[in-house]
Amino acid sequence: MTPVEEAVADLWATGVSPDGHPTIFIRDELGKLGVLTSAQLWDPEPGSIVRVAGVVTHRQRPMTAQGVTFLNLEDETGLINVVISKGCWARFRKVAREAPAMLIRGRLERSEGVVNIVADHLAPLPVPAAVKSRDFR
């Protein structure tokens, strides 16, 4: 099996792929688009516009959040916290609700050791394989 086929089989069978996260297979293309990894989000200044990409692991909209949705992406280096306003969610509703992986543009926030991306654009990300996210629980 090729590394991609092995990662797809691992994800299908177990939900994890210890040797090949889906984004690693497209990292060169993502790099050409200026997409940063989770680990690279410590470099830009807060307030910078950045692009991130990964597999969606969670979508959450707490009752106390006034329509804001919190999304977690996972790339080959870690997790990325994404904040999606009510308006951004409405503009990109289909992608926001259904895409198993996303390419997101937004403003970088960093405070007290936590990094967030406040999204302004969402796009589906074609990856070789993804697992179903845990949504709205």
What average pLDDT does range 35-53 have in this prediction? 96
Domain total for the chain? Answer: 1
Q: Which residues of 17-37 are buried (b: 16+ CB within 10 A; e: fewer)?
A: beebbbbbbbbeebeeeebbb
Write the CATH number for 73: 2.40.50.140
Q: Write out the residue range of the structural domain in which residue 56 sits.
A: 3-135
With a pLDDT cut of 90, the percent of the chain lying above it is 53
Average pLDDT over the chain reads: 85
Q: Alpha-carbon distance 25 to 12, whole Å?
A: 17
Q: Tens digits of per-residue pLDDT, 60-119?
A: 988 787 889 999 998 888 899 999 999 999 999 999 998 988 999 999 999 998 999 999
pTM of the full predicted structure? 0.82
* The predicted structure's pLDDT at residue 55: 87
